[in-house]
Amino acid sequence: MISAVFLIIAGFFAGIVTGLVGASAAVIVTPMLVAFLDYPAFTAIGISLATDVFASSTSALNYYRYKHIDLKNGIILTVMAVFGAFLGSILSSHMPDSLLGRGAGIAILIMGVNFIRKPINERLKEFREHHDLHVFKRNKTLSSIFFGLLIGVICGFIGAGGGIMILIILTFILGYEVKTAIGTSVLIMTFIALSGAIGHFIHTGTPLPEILITGTASIIGAATASKFANKTTDEKLSKTIGITFIALAIIMMMKKFMG
């Protein structure tokens, strides 16, 4: 019963962060399963990737309804990321469980504070001003191949759909505006997460009950959050993301202190 409650919480909040900013379900699901329910890292990553499929596809549907998706210019990135995710999922079988549980709460807390301090559009603008990306912009095809493969491997390895990484590439290299970049990134994440999940479950089997619980909860969270994200301002969106991350971080750190 307690396990089911934690699975629902993990899935719901994973859907929330995916729908709001395109962040991967792995930001929430993987560390929660390892820290609270003592799942092996490899199994937790597989469940996280499967949850990402539900959350990302639900979010993508809402972004599509608001015409905030443009996959045409990101197709090369998508194909390479899907291939990389399958490769990364094979490599992740060697990851120790302790690596995932350690420091996750602190990292999420820092992310939350940063989102509250500065809206996502301002943060992206600041990044653009301080980093020279012209070499990548001049070679968009090669950049899409390289970054797509890199993002895919990372996603398959640690269970992340790579939403934030994809968001940066779409915004700074391929020239997407913020909400279209978020919408397109969650659609790409759907394919990446599916590829990575298949790679995991080939080795471990499919933990269907856990996937159904976290997946269903993530659909509810993603549907609510993505609808809100498409209608609100960037400033309100960033503050909402920040509060969500801080709340989750407090819960996770309380677990650490209480043993």
pLDDT reading at 118 higher than 80: no
Cα–Cα dist 35/22, whole Å: 23
Model pLDDT, residue 221: 95
pLDDT reading at 213 higher than 90: yes
Between 226 and 251, whose confidence is greater?
226
Model pLDDT, residue 220: 97
Cα–Cα dist 172/190, whole Å: 21
Model pLDDT, residue 31: 81
Count of structural domains, the chain: 1
Model pLDDT, residue 171: 82
Tell me the H-state helices in 66-139.
75-91, 97-101, 104-117, 120-130, 134-138
pLDDT reading at 150 higher than 60: yes
Sign of CA dihedral 230, 236, 239, 244: negative
Structure tokens at 82: 């899907």
Q: Taking each helix axis as running N to C, give the angle between helix 120-130 and helix 163-172, from 0 to 180 degrees, rounded to the nearest 10.
A: 60
For the stretch 153-194, pLDDT in tens is 887 777 665 677 788 788 878 888 878 888 999 999 999 889
Question: For residues 221 and 12, is the Cβ–Cβ distance under 8 A?
Answer: yes
Cα–Cα dist 241/24, whole Å: 13
If you average pLDDT over residues 105-118, what whole number do you get?
A: 69
Instruction: Please give the DSSP secondary-structure letter assigned to residue 27.
Output: G
Single out the residue of 228, 144, 156, 221 nearest to residue 195, CA to CA: 156
Structure tokens at 162: 């790579």
53 φ/ψ angles, rounded to the nearest 5 degrees: -60, -45
Least confident stretch, 8-12, 47-51, 156-160: 156-160
Burial of residue 131 (number of CB atoms within 10 Å: 0-12, 13-18, 19+): exposed
Domain that holds residue 18: 2-258
How many alpha carbons lie under 13 Å from residue 34 in its C-beta half-sphere?
27
